[in-house]
Amino acid sequence: MGLFKSAEEFETMLAGFFRVVASREDIAAALLRSGLVIRFSYSDPDVIIVVDCSGEQIEVRTGDSSTKATVDMSMKAEIAHKFWFGKVNLMQALTRRQMVAKGPVPKILQLLPAIKPTYALYPQYLRENGYEEYIIY
Amino acid sequence: MLPDFFEFHAPTRLVYGPGLVADLEAELARLPVRRFLAVSDRAVADLGLLARVTRGLADAGFDVVGEFFDVPPNSEVRVVENCARLAAELGADGFVAVGGGSVIDTAKAANVIASLGGDLVLDYSGSGTIEGPLLPLVAVPTTAGTGSEVTSVAIVYESDTRTKLPFSGTALLPTLAVLDPELTLSLPPGLTASTAMDALTHAVEAWISPQASPVTDALAARAVQMITGTVETAVDDGDDLETRGILLIASSLAGIAFSHAMVGCVHGMAHAAGGLCGVPHGVANAILLPHGLEYNLPAVGPKLADLAPFVGADTHGLPEEDAARAVIGSLRALGARLHDKGALPARLRDVGVTEQDLAAIAEATVMDGTSFYNPREVEAGGILEHLRRAY
C-alpha cells in the first residue's frame, strides 16, 4: 500500500505542481533552454506525466505514453514525492536503482541547479492546495 | 569522514597467473556456456594472443564458434550491433573478449543486445536500464589500463553525435576476469605508459570522487602506489613479467574502485577529446590528469593531500593545500618523465587537438556523464582555462 490514496489524486497533485513550476519564469527559462521532453513514469500508484520543454512554452501532459521522450525517468511515487522536498540524493537514488533514467542522463543533471528553488515551493504548493497531509518530510 | 551511504558489489571472479590462459578448465567448469564467440581486434590476433586463449578454451573442451575482429580503438554502436548479430547467427551462448578496453566494452555491449534484444542506444543508455542476466562473459585484458574486465561500465562511441556513450549496470560485470601478465609482454612502451596512466587516472579520480567509500579508497590507494612505483620500469623493460603483473593487477584494482566511485572531469575531458578529436583515451588522461586535479583542487584539497604517501610525495609539515599541490606535482613529474622516455606526448597540441577545438571540448565535458560524479561542479569556463594550459 503506497502513500497516496489513488492514482488520480497523485496525478492531479504532481501535475499541478509541475504547472506551478512551469509558470515560474526563472525556472521555466532554464527548462525551455534544455529543449528536453521528460517522461516521468511512477509506480504505486501508476501515473505518467510528460513535461515537454521542446516548444515555446512548457507543456505538462498526464497519461501521455506515446510522445517520444528525450529522457524517461521511472520511480516509485513516494520517491518522487520525497525528491520534490529536496530530500533525495539523486546520485544515491540512481546507484540504488530507486530511480531509473533512460536516455542522456547528464542533460537532466544539468537542470538540477535550476530546479533547486522548487524544493521550497513544493510544501508551499501542497499546503495551498489541500494536500497538507502529505507534508511529511 | 564516512559517506552517508555506499554499496560494494564485485561479483566478477578474478584469477591471476602467468600463462593462465593455457589452462582455464577449472575456472570455466561451472559456467553455463559451451559455445563462445571470441571478440578481439586484428592487432591482438596478429600477435598470437587470441590464439593462445582460444587454444586454451579448446583444450578445456569448449567450442569457439566464431571470431569477431572488427573492433576499432574506440568501439562504436555499429560495431557492437554487428558483433551481437554474429553471436546470434552462430548460436553463441557466451563471449570471450581478448584485448584492451574497446574490445571488452564491445563484448559487454554486444552481450546486452544478444541477451536482451532491443536497440543499444534507445533502450539501454542512461542509468539502471540494463537488467540481467546476460550471457557469461570472460574478459582477458591484453593491456593494463582500462580495468574493463572488472567494471560495470562500457563506453561506446556514437558517430552521429560524435559522443562517447556510457552504459552502466551491474549486469555488465564480466563473469570471469583472467589476468595473465604474459599477454601484456608485447605492449610497446607508448601503450604501456598510456594504459598505465589511464589506470592511474581511474584510481586517482575514484579516490577524490564524492562516491568514494572506505572500500574504494583502499583499492584506489593501493592501485596508485602500484602504478606509480612500476610504470617507468615497465616502459624501460617490457619483458619484466613481475612488473607487468603488478600493473595488470593494479589496473583491475583501479577498475573495481572506479566502477563504484566513478570518475570525474579528467575522464570527461578525455571522453570529449576522444570523441571530437580522436585522441586515444589513455593518452588524453595522461595529459589531462594534473590539469583536472588542479580544477578540482578547491573541492578536494585535504583528500588529495592524503594521497601523498601513495605517490611518493614528501609532504611532511606542509599545509594541506601545499600537500595537495605536491601530489599533483608528483603526478605531473611522472608524466614528464614518461614523456622524456618517448613514451607519452606532453600536450594536447601534440595529439591532433587544435586551439579552436578547446571550447567544444569544454562544452562536451560539461555534458559528459562523468560531470555528475565530479567533486566540483563542471563548468565550461573553468574547464576551458585548464584545457588551454594542457594545450
**For the segment B158-213, what is each residue's pLDDT rounded down to a tens digit?**
888 777 788 988 999 999 999 999 999 989 999 999 999 999 999 999 999 999 99
Q: Indicate if B128 and B273 belong to the same structural domain.
A: no
Three-state DSSP string of B123-160: HHCEECCCCCCCCCEEEEECCCCCCHHHCCEEEEEECC
pLDDT of residue B74: 86
Detail the DSSP E strand segments found in chain B. 13-16, 35-39, 63-68, 94-99, 126-127, 137-141, 153-158, 163-168, 176-179
pLDDT of residue B371: 86
CB–CB of B210 and A91 under 8 A?
Answer: yes
Question: Which string of DSSP letters, residue by residue, matches B54-66?
Answer: HHHHHHTT-EEEE
Coil, helix or strand at residue B330:
helix
Per 3-state DSSP, chain A is made up of helix, strand and coil in percentages (nearest 5) of 45, 20, 35
- Which one of B215, B372, B376, B383 would you mutate to disrupt binding with A, by most A Cβ within 10 Å of its Cβ? B372
Give the whole-angstrom CA distance, residue B331 versus residue B354. Answer: 25
Closest CA to B203 of B75, B104, B289, B74: B289
Count of C-beta atoms within a 10 Å radius of residue A66? 7
Q: Indicate if B337 and B313 belong to the same structural domain.
A: yes
pLDDT of residue B32: 93
Q: Kind of pairing, strands B137-141 and B176-179?
A: parallel
Q: Kind of pairing, strands A99-102 and B137-141?
A: unpaired
Q: Average pLDDT, stretch B10-30?
A: 94
* In a domain? residue B117: yes
* In a domain? residue B3: no
Whether B307 and B207 have beta carbons less than 8 Å apart is answered as: yes
* pLDDT over 90 at A74, yes or no: yes
Boundary residue ending a domain (B169, B184, B199) = B184
Q: CA-based angle B7:B10:B11, to the nearest 5?
A: 130
Q: Indicate if B161 and B257 belong to the same structural domain.
A: no
* Amino acid in the structure at residue B115: S
Domain with residue B327: its CATH number is: 1.20.1090.10
Q: Indicate if B142 and B196 belong to the same structural domain.
A: no
Q: Indicate if B117 and B56 belong to the same structural domain.
A: yes
Residue B4 touches chain A, beta carbons under 8 Å: yes
* In a domain? residue B8: no
- A108 confidence band (pLDDT: 50, 70, 90): confident
CB–CB of B367 and A71 under 8 A?
Answer: no
- CA count, 13 A, side-chain hemisphere, B43: 15
Chain A residues within 8 A (CB-CB) of chain B? 71-72, 89, 91-92, 94-97, 99-107, 109-110, 113
* pLDDT over 70 at B110, yes or no: yes
Average pLDDT, rounded, for chain B: 95
Contacts of B128 in chain A (CB under 8 A): 94, 97, 99-101
Q: Which tops the pLDDT comparison, B122 or B151?
A: B151
Q: Indicate if B157 and B282 belong to the same structural domain.
A: no
Closest CA to A134 of A39, A9, A19, A26: A9
Question: B39 has which bridge partners?
Answer: B68, B97
Q: Indicate if B337 and B214 belong to the same structural domain.
A: yes
* pLDDT over 80 at B383, yes or no: yes
Strands in B94-99's sheet, in edge-to-edge order, are B13-16, B176-179, B137-141, B94-99, B35-39, B63-68
Question: B225 has which bridge partners?
Answer: none
* Amino acid in the structure at residue B353: V
Coil, helix or strand at residue A49:
strand
Burial A91-110 (b: 16+ CB within 10 A, else e): bbbbbeebbbbbbbbbbbbb
pLDDT of residue A91: 81
Boundary residue ending a domain (B184, B205, B228) = B184
* pLDDT over 80 at A109, yes or no: no
- B127 confidence band (pLDDT: 50, 70, 90): confident
Give burial (CB, 10 Å; 0-12/13-18/19+) of B278: middle
Contacts of B378 in chain A (CB under 8 A): none
Length of chain A: 137
* In a domain? residue B258: yes
Q: Which fold has domain A7-129?
A: Nonspecific Lipid-transfer Protein; Chain A (3.30.1050)
Q: Indicate if B156 and B197 belong to the same structural domain.
A: no
* In a domain? residue B250: yes
Q: Average pLDDT, stretch B347-360?
A: 98
pTM comes to 0.91
- A111 confidence band (pLDDT: 50, 70, 90): confident
Q: CA-based angle B239:B244:B248, to the nearest 5?
A: 155
Give tens-digit pLDDT for B283-300: 999 999 999 999 999 999
Give the whole-angstrom CA distance, residue B56 versus residue B17. Answer: 14
The distance of Cα B164 from the centroid of its chain, to the nearest Å, equals: 13
Contacts of A114 in chain B (CB under 8 A): none
Place of cell 515551493: A121
How far is the CA of B265 from the CAs of B83, B101, B251, in angstroms?
Answer: 31, 19, 19
Q: Indicate if B130 and B104 belong to the same structural domain.
A: yes
* pLDDT over 70 at A1, yes or no: no
Closest CA to B21 of B64, B66, B51, B63: B51
Question: Which string of DSSP letters, residue by residue, matches A64-114?
Answer: --SS--SEEEEEEHHHHHHHTTT---HHHHHHTTSEEEES-HHHHHTTHHH
Mean pLDDT is lowest, of A87-96, B43-52, B228-237, B338-347, for A87-96
Residue-range definition of the domain harbouring residue B238: 189-390
Torsion angle, CA of A68/A74/A79/A82, rounded to 10 degrees? -20
Question: How many domains is chain B partitioned into structurally?
Answer: 2
Boundary residue ending a domain (B157, B184, B211) = B184
Give the whole-angstrom CA distance, residue B139 versus residue B105. Answer: 10
Q: Average pLDDT, stretch A101-129?
A: 87
Q: Indicate if B170 and B200 belong to the same structural domain.
A: no
* In a domain? residue B170: yes
Q: Which residue of A has its CA nearest to B121?
A: A103
CB–CB of A92 and B5 under 8 A?
Answer: yes
The distance of Cα A26 from the centroid of its chain, to the nearest Å, equals: 17
CB–CB of B211 and A107 under 8 A?
Answer: no
Give the whole-angstrom CA distance, residue B305 versus residue B228. Answer: 16
- B83 confidence band (pLDDT: 50, 70, 90): very high
* In a domain? residue B324: yes
pLDDT of residue B185: 96
The distance of Cα B222 from the centroid of its chain, to the nearest Å, equals: 17
- A15 confidence band (pLDDT: 50, 70, 90): very high
Q: Indicate if B61 and B88 belong to the same structural domain.
A: yes
How far is the CA of B285 from the CAs of B19, B323, B334, B371, B382, in angstroms?
Answer: 30, 22, 13, 15, 18
Q: Indicate if B174 and B218 belong to the same structural domain.
A: no
